[in-house]
């Protein structure tokens, strides 16, 4: 048995090493794609990196199962495997990621395994990572240099291999931004120092520098985005607002491509800079979303231990495809695919899963919520409200397993909790309603420019975040925009056509008539005229066709993760 244990741990660690090696190789391609403005290649590379984890888990699992045979469902075997694995990864600088890889292997190998603290790494992770020296993590710039020299040196230290559009102007714009935001509030001293991460964060068509300045007895974080135009790269703005930074690392944004030798060290720096984000969100943001899922689960368990409220049905109109519940004290919803769908829904559970997979691999452009997918998710039975329990039995009974004290759910998605837009519009004042319907239309159009057609665009399928952004979160009817056929409605010419009880013209499966959107998009009477006027292009089939044509030509949307009004040169396209 000792030989089998050593074989198993060796292969898990080997599989993890190969996964991480390819992950880093793909990440390292981002600077070259940015340099050469290869945006399509950048997106394809991002999707390839997202698929890696599952592929390496599958390969590793097959290899292990062939060898361990009857041991695969024996807890005593896996307990010894874990003990041996813990020993051989103890000195690794990425051991928390290795632990998550191990968890994934055992979950896929040990049939129907609910989380077991003794067999899996449940409470270890980030909080048990060793501290490492930071000297290689960032560049340091002492205040004695003066502001001009510091900014010039930062610009010199980050050579993207491309000529600048106007480097001197960039330097002066950054100097002015620091003077206006920091030096009007704080006086630098000999202890003032600036640090900028050596690793550049790439996403979409932008590159970001992330740093902080120690001044006034605290750290002042900042982010500097770089973009391209036809004449070179340029600094687009300098961001100091923590809320804007938090949004840049939002659950509605795609993950960054950023090289890091010690993930926990990178997360620790980011946690000090972007304090609005939790640890699991930061792991997600730098591309380690599977470990982000592990850290989220740990956070969830800690919250369960320190709360007493019951899980209950989520607010809003009940969906036809998903049963959704929440814990009122926790900022997450849990989504389960129903056993049966009522007409007009005509799809299978696997088709719904495929839609969620599509979203996980696509650029979410700040308008689609990220999800984590769980199997055999456990919650205490005494924390499930009677109303929710009845709803679960009525709608998702095939997904439920009951033990004496636990409800185990075979499959679910977790997603950030938001206020459903339809409920928000029922209670907010007119000014907030106007902003919300602007955001609603912007969300639909930005998704369209990213080649996503939401399908069901009812307001109940969109949520409002704490920053009052509108995010789409119901994916069962999404399609690629380029697969749709946008049409003007034919004009009736005869009495029979005018009064026909059903459309008298042929309608194909993917035909869409934007003129009809006016009927259902906004129901609130005092804000609907404003919405129809503000977003009149939504109802024009030709406008949708123009977006399709741009996508087919390879023109990709750059979704600015910060307000356009803070850009240094707002006239510059991305």
Residues labelled catalytic: 370
Kindly give the interhelix angle for 147-157 and 167-178, rounded to the nearest 10 degrees.
Answer: 130
Give one DSSP letter per residue of 549-572, joined into a string.
HHHHTT------SS-GGG-SSTT-
| CB-CB neighbours of 445 under 10 Å | 18
Please say whether the beta carbons of 376 and 112 come within 8 A: yes
**Of 333, 298, 295, 338, the residue nearest 320 (C-alpha):** 338
Tell me how far apart the alpha carbons of residues 154 and 271 are, in angstroms, rounded to a whole number. 22
Tell me how far apart the alpha carbons of residues 180 and 174 are, in angstroms, rounded to a whole number. 10
344 preceded by a cis bond (ω within 30 of 0): yes
Burial-class residue 394 by CB neighbours within 10 Å (0-12, 13-18, 19+). Answer: exposed
**Of 126, 236, 22, the residue nearest 244 (C-alpha):** 236
Residue linked to tokens 């040196």: 153
> Which is it for strands 312-313 and 218-229: parallel, antiparallel or unpaired?
unpaired
The three-state secondary structure class of 204 is coil
| CB-CB neighbours of 58 under 10 Å | 13
3-state secondary structure 481-501: HHHCEECCCCCCCCHHHHCCC
- With a CB cutoff of 8 Å and minimum separation 6, the contacts of 454 are 444, 447, 461, 472, 474, 477, 478
**Of 74, 49, 52, 59, the residue nearest 12 (C-alpha):** 59
Q: For the range 301-306, what are the long-range contacts, defined as Cβ-Cβ under 8 Å and sequence gap of 24 or more? A: 301/122, 301/123, 303/327, 303/329, 303/330, 304/379, 304/380, 304/383
Helix (H) or strand (E) holding 305: helix 289-305
| CB-CB neighbours of 127 under 10 Å | 11
Please say whether the beta carbons of 295 and 243 come within 8 A: no
Tell me how far apart the alpha carbons of residues 153 and 139 are, in angstroms, rounded to a whole number. 10
- With a CB cutoff of 8 Å and minimum separation 6, the contacts of 376 are 107, 112, 113, 114, 115, 401, 408, 409, 410
Count of residues for the chain? 574
Query: What residue spans of 147-288 are helical by DSSP H?
Result: 147-157, 167-178, 242-248, 263-273, 279-285
Tell me how far apart the alpha carbons of residues 497 and 504 are, in angstroms, rounded to a whole number. 6
Query: What residue spans of 386-480 are helical by DSSP H?
Result: 386-395, 421-427, 430-449
Q: Which of 72-87 are b and which e, b meaning 16 or more Cβ less than 10 Å from the residue's Cβ?
A: beeeebbebbbebbbe
- With a CB cutoff of 8 Å and minimum separation 6, the contacts of 533 are none
């Amino acid at each position: 048995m000792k030989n089998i244990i050593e074989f198993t741990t060796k292969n898990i660690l080997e599989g993890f090493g190969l996964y991480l090696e390819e992950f880093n190789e793909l990440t390292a391609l981002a600077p070259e794609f940015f340099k050469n403005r290869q945006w399509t290649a950048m997106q394809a590379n991002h999707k390839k990196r997202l698929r890696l984890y599952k592929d390496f888990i599958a390969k590793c699992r097959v290899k292990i199962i062939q060898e361990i045979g009857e041991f695969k469902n024996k807890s005593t075997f896996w307990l010894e495997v874990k003990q041996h694995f813990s020993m051989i990864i103890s000195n690794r600088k990425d051991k928390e990621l290795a632990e998550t890889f191990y968890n994934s292997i055992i979950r896929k190998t040990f049939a129907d395994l609910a989380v077991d603290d003794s067999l899996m790494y449940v409470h270890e992770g980030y909080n048990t990572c060793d501290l490492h020296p930071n000297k290689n993590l960032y560049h340091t710039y002492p205040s004695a240099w003066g502001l001009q020299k510091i900014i010039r040196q930062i610009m010199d230290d980050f050579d993207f291999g491309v000529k600048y559009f106007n480097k001197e102007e960039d330097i002066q714009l950054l100097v002015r931004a620091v003077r206006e935001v920091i030096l009007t509030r704080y006086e630098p001293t000999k202890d003032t120092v600036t640090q900028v991460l050596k690793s550049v964060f790439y996403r979409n068509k932008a590159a970001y520098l992330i740093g902080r300045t120690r001044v006034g007895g605290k750290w002042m974080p900042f982010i500097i985005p770089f973009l391209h135009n036809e004449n070179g790269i340029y600094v687009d703005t300098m961001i100091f607002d923590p809320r804007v930074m938090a949004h840049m690392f939002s659950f509605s944004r795609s993950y960054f491509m950023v090289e890091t030798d010690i993930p926990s060290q990178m997360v620790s720096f980011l946690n000090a800079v972007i304090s609005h984000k939790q640890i699991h969100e930061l792991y997600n943001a730098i591309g380690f979303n599977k470990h982000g899922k592990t850290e989220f689960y740990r956070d969830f368990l800690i919250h369960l231990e320190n709360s007493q409220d019951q899980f209950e049905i989520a607010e809003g109109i009940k969906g036809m495809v998903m049963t959704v519940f929440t814990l009122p004290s926790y900022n997450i919803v849990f989504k389960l695919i129903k056993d049966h769908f009522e007409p007009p829904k005509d799809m299978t559970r696997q088709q719904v899963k495929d839609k969620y997979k599509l979203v996980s691999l696509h650029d979410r452009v700040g308008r689609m919520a990220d999800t984590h997918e769980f199997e055999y998710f456990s919650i205490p039975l005494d924390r499930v409200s009677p109303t929710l329990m009845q709803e679960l039995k009525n709608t998702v009974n095939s997904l439920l397993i009951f033990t004496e004290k636990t409800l185990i759910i075979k499959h679910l998605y977790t997603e950030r909790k938001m206020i459903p837009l339809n409920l928000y519009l029922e209670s907010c004042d007119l000014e907030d309603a106007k902003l919300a319907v602007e955001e609603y239309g912007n969300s639909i159009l930005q998704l369209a420019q990213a080649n996503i057609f939401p399908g069901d665009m009812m307001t109940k399928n969109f949520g409002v975040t704490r920053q009052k952004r509108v995010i789409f979160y119901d994916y069962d009817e999404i399609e690629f925009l380029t697969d749709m056929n946008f049409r003007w409605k034919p004009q009736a010419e005869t009495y029979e056509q005018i009064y026909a009880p059903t459309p008298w013209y042929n309608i194909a499966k993917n035909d869409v008539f934007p003129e009809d959107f006016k009927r259902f998009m906004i129901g609130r009477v005092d804000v609907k005229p404003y919405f129809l006027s503000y977003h009149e292009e939504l109802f024009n089939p030709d406008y949708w066709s123009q977006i399709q044509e741009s996508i087919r030509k390879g023109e990709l949307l750059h979704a600015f993760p910060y307000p356009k009004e803070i850009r240094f040169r707002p006239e510059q396209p991305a």
